[in-house]
Structure 1
């Protein structure tokens, strides 16, 4: 990290990718506030602040509290998100609204609240946690892919809007990551072991991505070391988007 102490906010940072990112930022010397519905689960020295990214006033209050506690803001990681399984015909309207409220509008709300503070930073960076399904068609992920595809497009638009203000905006596109959400998804499968093996096999590396690997990519994009990187989607997907290997490998 940079010599000065950077100040970061990570949404959805109580578990999974968000927690791994918050810890890595903190280990690198940053002061980190985690915005999460389960803020009480956030370990020290991370600062847990309860926030519901689907509620604008909750987000604004949480960002104010984080900025007051940290003394400013340099980094925003929009990581909060929820999953969905099904084709376009399977998910009811209420579920569409809920997933878009969290995965897309959650990032909008948090960014909107953070922008006035990021404008005061010499190292302002926003990183959105997107997904490889934003760019790759995967069966049974219509709603989730739509939310992440919109987030990918939003990343590019935000990067263009704010580059002259010195605010960099990028996203990471993880493959299937070994997180508590994936564990819960597998628990609902008819054969969890077989489903896990299938998820591992569809990534060319033959294994799931780790939360720490995604966190490392997020922290790079957030750091001053990536000062010339903006409007970029960094794939951390085991090669699933770009590689096509023989079926009998």
Structure 2
């Protein structure tokens, strides 16, 4: 059964499952149309959450792969770099569910360029999505969580927010900013019952990474390099990151705040 709300809303089976650690919690997931964001949204639905998926791209109708999930899914088209759209996203989540328990700031873009080859417009666009988007979404949601006295914010950064890598200078800078912003937010808002943590994926087989490969001079060589730099000798799967995001959102991570959870196949172990 489905009905339309800002593009698409899907209702799913509400059967009881004892393993659903996010049952009836309300989550906003940005960048949720594909890749890591989509996998997180699906995992949260399987855990019984009510998920508002946000993305700059139009929704698939119906959203593929979500049938049979245990929560409810709604979609709001959102450019996270635009404050008015972010505020509309949060307002819709409150209209639908009356609260926001979890915010996953996942929306991001990437390209393979050095500082010298990056244009000013490219720099501004990447920072607007990857860093400003985290700021705007958090700024809109934190007052809601303050009023509730509880909440979880998960900022998706990258292992490249912790270590450098050749040819992705702007991306490294943006994700390093997300890591430090997460720590500052945790300090500011932990006493208010809001847990803020940073999730740092390694190379994950998503369309975003495929686009990075395609933008390089040697796409296949770059792919082999990424695979070889993990100790597991493979790219990650979106589901690997979704499992970590489910843990951070759950009460199992109740004593985690200001942490960087690295899920990178051993990339940063070297």
- For Structure 1 versus Structure 2, the TM-score category normalised by the shorter chain is over 0.9
- TM-fit CA distance, 1:192: 3.6
Aligned partner of residue 40 in structure 1, secondary structure: coil
Deviates more, 1:174-183 or 1:190-199: 190-199
Task: Report how many aligned residue pairs link the two structures.
Answer: 243
Q: Does 1:5 align with 2:32?
A: no
Alignment match, 1:18: 37
Alignment match, 1:215: 242
Alignment match, 2:185: 158
**Within 2, Cα distance between the matches of 1:84 and 1:3?**
34
- Cα 1:194/1:140, change in 2 over 3 Å: closer
Alignment match, 1:51: 78
**Within 2, Cα distance between the matches of 1:93 and 1:38?**
24
Alignment match, 1:247: none
**Among 244, 254, 258, the residue aligned to 1:231:** 258
Alignment match, 1:66: 93
Q: Does 1:176 align with 2:191?
A: no
**Within 2, Cα distance between the matches of 1:82 and 1:171?**
17
**Within 1, Cα distance between the matches of 2:131 and 2:252?**
27
**Within 1, Cα distance between the matches of 2:156 and 2:133?**
12
Structure 2 gap ranges (5+): 1-19, 67-71
Across the aligned residues of Structure 1 and Structure 2, the Cα RMSD in angstroms comes to 1.6
Alignment match, 1:99: 126
Q: Does 1:132 align with 2:151?
A: no
Aligned partner of residue 198 in structure 2, secondary structure: strand
Q: Does 1:203 align with 2:230?
A: yes
Instruction: Provide TM-score, normalisation by structure 1.
Output: 0.92
